[in-house]
């Protein structure tokens, strides 16, 4: 039951210059919950994950994954994983 | 949170419980533990004074005065723990988000297990003292019952206070940016 869900929420949120508070208000969650998701201390429900994805206008798999995300620079500049 | 419309009471409680002015008082785990320890100590002291008041000959008034004095710091400690948990136990269910609802259920379940153990220990202690001194259960049953009831009432608060976690790292840069844009 404690499957770790990896996410890129902190990075995307910083990139879009959205505060935790405003994201939390938009998706109907507490700002601490957003922080706990970013720290990997809480796995959001499908409902909340979809709301967050919709807020950023991104597919849910761009933000949440069961596998660790590859660093974005590796993806952009095509460096292969070791 | 907020799939149901919030009442004025809900909104004011939400604001109160998320007021960050006293955040420094519960910012670290050590301070939260200290607040819970102080709350437990004050609860025990108030309970002891109440017991003394009921059991002492002539019902002296000083325990009532002492209780009234101790109630103020007790309320402050309650407020600190509620602030640390962001009103986990004080806010109504529909005001909490999914993480908070799940956390409240975990807190209540753990508190229930602990008070069950406490009740069992109290019953065993009463039976043993009854075996030694036949009158003891009759004399101590009422104060013990009240003590257990009080503990049952405040145990979720203690558990929630001890389980509360540190704030996620500051978001000041983005918040400052947002306020500049506004």
Q: Give the burial class of A30: count Cβ atoms within 10 A of its Cβ; 0-12 exposed, 13-18 middle, 19 or more buried.
A: buried
Residue A82 domain-assigned?
no
Instruction: Give the integer Cα–Cα distance in Å for A32 and A17.
Output: 17
B50-76 tens-digit pLDDT? 888 877 777 788 989 999 999 999 999
Q: What is the pLDDT of residue A50?
A: 97
Residue A1 domain-assigned?
no
**Interface residue of B4, B97, B177 to substitute, partner A, most A CBs within 10 Å:** B97
Whether pLDDT at A67 is above 60: yes
Residue B182 domain-assigned?
no
Residue B16 domain-assigned?
no
Chain A residues near residue B106 by CB distance under 8 angstroms: none
In order along chain B (182 residues), what is the average pLDDT of each group of 10 residues? 77 90 90 96 92 80 92 96 94 94 96 94 86 76 84 95 84 52 44
Instruction: Give the integer Cα–Cα distance in Å for B147 and B151.
Output: 6
Q: Give the burial class of B119: count Cβ atoms within 10 A of its Cβ; 0-12 exposed, 13-18 middle, 19 or more buried.
A: middle
Q: What is the domain range of residue A70? A: 6-77
Total number of domains in chain A = 1
Total number of domains in chain B = 1
Chain B residues near residue A33 by CB distance under 8 angstroms: 97-100
Residue B154 sits at the vertex; the CA angle it makes with B148 and B158, to the nearest 5 degrees, is 120
Q: What is the mean pLDDT of residues A4-33?
A: 93
Residue A58 domain-assigned?
yes
**Interface residue of A19, A43, A45 to substitute, partner B, most B CBs within 10 Å:** A19
Q: What is the pLDDT of residue B122?
A: 87
Q: What is the pLDDT of residue B180?
A: 46
Mean pLDDT, chain A, as a whole number?
Answer: 89
Residue A65 domain-assigned?
yes
Q: Compare all CA atoms of chain B with the CA of A40 and give the residue at the minimum distance.
A: B168
Count helices and strands (H / E) in chain B: 6, 0
The CATH number of the domain where A40 resides is what? Answer: 1.10.260.40
Of residues A73 and B21, which shows the higher confidence score?
Answer: B21
Q: What is the domain range of residue B52? A: 22-166
- For chains A and B, count residue pairs whose Cβ atoms are closer than 8 Å: 57
Residue A24 domain-assigned?
yes
B140-163 tens-digit pLDDT? 777 888 888 899 999 999 999 999
Could you tell me the pTM of the whole model?
A: 0.82
Global ipTM: 0.81
Instruction: Give the integer Cα–Cα distance in Å for B175 and A17.
Output: 9
Q: Among positive and negative, which fits the CA dihedral A1, A59, B169, B21?
A: negative
* Residue closest to B154 by CA, chosen among B95, B90, B86, B94: B90
Contact A26, B182 (CB under 8 A): no
């Amino acid at each position: 039951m404690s499957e770790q869900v990896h996410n890129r929420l902190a990075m995307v949120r910083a990139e879009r210059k959205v505060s935790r508070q405003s994201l939390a208000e938009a998706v109907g969650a507490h700002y601490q919950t957003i922080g706990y998701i970013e720290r990997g201390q809480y796995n959001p429900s499908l409902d909340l994950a979809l709301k967050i994805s919709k807020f950023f206008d991104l597919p849910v798999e761009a933000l949440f994954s069961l596998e660790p995300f590859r660093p974005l620079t590796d993806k952009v500049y095509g460096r292969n994983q070791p | 949170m907020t799939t149901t419309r919030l009442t004025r009471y809900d909104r004011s409680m939400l604001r109160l419980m998320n007021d960050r002015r006293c955040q420094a008082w519960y910012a670290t785990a050590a301070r939260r533990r200290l607040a819970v320890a102080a709350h437990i100590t004050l609860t025990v002291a108030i309970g002891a004074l109440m017991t003394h008041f009921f059991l002492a000959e002539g019902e002296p008034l000083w325990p009532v005065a002492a209780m009234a004095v101790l109630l103020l710091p007790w309320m402050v400690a309650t407020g600190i723990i509620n602030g640390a948990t962001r009103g986990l136990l004080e806010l109504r269910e529909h005001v909490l988000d999914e993480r908070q609802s799940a956390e409240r259920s975990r807190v209540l379940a753990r508190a229930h297990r602990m008070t069950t153990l406490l009740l069992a220990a109290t019953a065993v202690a009463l039976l043993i003292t009854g075996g030694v001194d036949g009158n003891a259960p009759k004399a101590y049953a009422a104060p013990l019952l009240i003590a257990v009831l009080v503990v049952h009432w405040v145990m979720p608060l203690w558990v929630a206070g001890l389980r509360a976690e540190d704030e996620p790292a500051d978001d000041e840069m983005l918040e400052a940016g947002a306020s500049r844009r506004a």
